[in-house]
Amino acid sequence: MSAQLINGNHLSQQLRGEIAERAAALTAKGKQPGLAVIIVGDDPASHVYVRNKVKACGDVGFHSVLEKYDASLSEEELLNRIRALNEDASIHGILVQMPLPKHINAFKVIETISAAKDVDGYSVLSAGELMSGLPGFRPCTPYGCMKLIESTGYDLRGKHAVVIGRSNTVGKPMALLLLQANATVTICHSGTPDLAYHTKQADVVVAAVGRRNTLTGDMVKPGAVVIDVGINRNDEGKLCGDVDFDSVEKVAGYITPVPGGVGPMTITMLLMNTLESAERN
């Protein structure tokens, strides 16, 4: 058996086409969606991420602002920039690229972003809305994973989903979204003694660990849906996920590749959140 590939590039393109159409309709009414991206410091990977986000905005017809600051920027200066963007009517989403320099309190930064513009969905309010099943901004990566699963037509109702990882940005919101879709959810983490015991029973596995080969074929139930969030490098320096693709794709029913799976969906869902913010505004 060979798993069906869930193509994140393809789904992303399709969704970005829909986003561009809705953005054009808003722009025609004089309300072009706008995203502000702030980056502090010179982490090369973070600069690549923000460039991609800004480019994606242009591709779907959004207005975007990229603010780059030296690592010496004070916390108060950053908070003041966010406060100014909160008041800027042309901006519907504010994203501060993580990680931030150590002297800046990331929690304070996230909480300073207006709840109406928290398109990353990282604030305590957004987390509470998700927890309570209220509408609100969903963190982009798990939101994208849900869209990938939905795209297969797979019905999550009553299925057993195992999420590996419990970060506030991926693992925990992922588990809550699966729960909202009426799956029975197990969350595993570094303190889980026998990971394979859980994954072998799972109809759906989402791996969000940051360690390659965390999930191998012998740990997967035949026919399972496997979503690989991880971004790692193999010995040859090539991009790979948390899932050992070659062994798992022989057992799983559906699988996302790395690259070309969850990665492109994360930016797409950021665009979706920004669009919805502009539409709501």
CB of 231 to ligand NAP, least distance (A): 4
Annotated active-site residue in 53, 147, 159, 172 = 53
Cβ distance to ligand NAP smaller for residue 78 or 240: 240
Minimum separation from the CB atom of position 49 to ligand NAP (A): 9
Give yes or no for a contact between 143 and 257, defined as CB atoms under 8 angstroms apart: no
**Is residue 170 involved in binding ligand NAP (CB under 6 A)?**
yes
Q: Shortest approach of ligand NAP to residue 88 CB, angstroms?
A: 27
Q: Is 97 a catalytic residue?
A: yes
With 0-12 / 13-18 / 19 or more C-beta atoms within 10 angstroms meaning exposed / middle / buried, residue 22 is middle
Based on the shown chain and the rule CB under 6 A, indicate whether residue 252 belongs to the binding site for ligand NAP: no
- Residue from the set 188, 206, 220, 248 that interacts with ligand NAP by CB under 6 A: 188
Asked if 158 is part of the footprint of ligand NAP (rule: CB under 6 A), the reply reads no
- Residue 230 in contact with ligand NAP, rule: CB under 6 A: yes
Q: Is 262 in the site for ligand NAP (CB under 6 A)?
A: yes
Which of 10, 37, 82 is closest to 268 using CA atoms? Answer: 10
Q: Tokens representing 247?
A: 């062994």
Does the protein bind ligand NAP through residue 165 (CB under 6 A)?
Answer: yes
Instruction: Please report whether residue 23 would count as binding ligand NAP according to CB under 6 A.
Output: no
Rounded (10°) CA dihedral 217, 186, 174, 179: 130
Q: Is residue 13 part of the contact set for ligand NAP (CB under 6 A)?
A: no
Judged by CB under 6 A, the residue of 55, 108, 189, 238 near ligand NAP is: 189
Strands 184-188 and 160-164, how do they pair?
parallel
- By CB under 6 A, tell whether 167 contacts ligand NAP: yes
Q: Is 26 in the site for ligand NAP (CB under 6 A)?
A: no
Question: Among this protein's residues, is 53 annotated catalytic?
Answer: yes
User: Residue 4 catalytic?
Assistant: no
Rounded least distance, CB 77 to ligand NAP, Å: 27
Provide the token pair at 105. 């309190």
30 binds ligand NAP (CB under 6 A): no
Instruction: Check binding of 169 to ligand NAP (CB under 6 A).
Output: yes
Site for ligand NAP in 194-223 (CB under 6 A): 195, 208-211
From 70-78, 163-171, 197-205, 217-225, give the range in contact with ligand NAP by CB under 6 A: 163-171
Which residues bind to ligand NAP, rule: CB under 6 A?
141, 164-167, 169-171, 188-192, 195, 208-211, 229-232, 262-263, 266
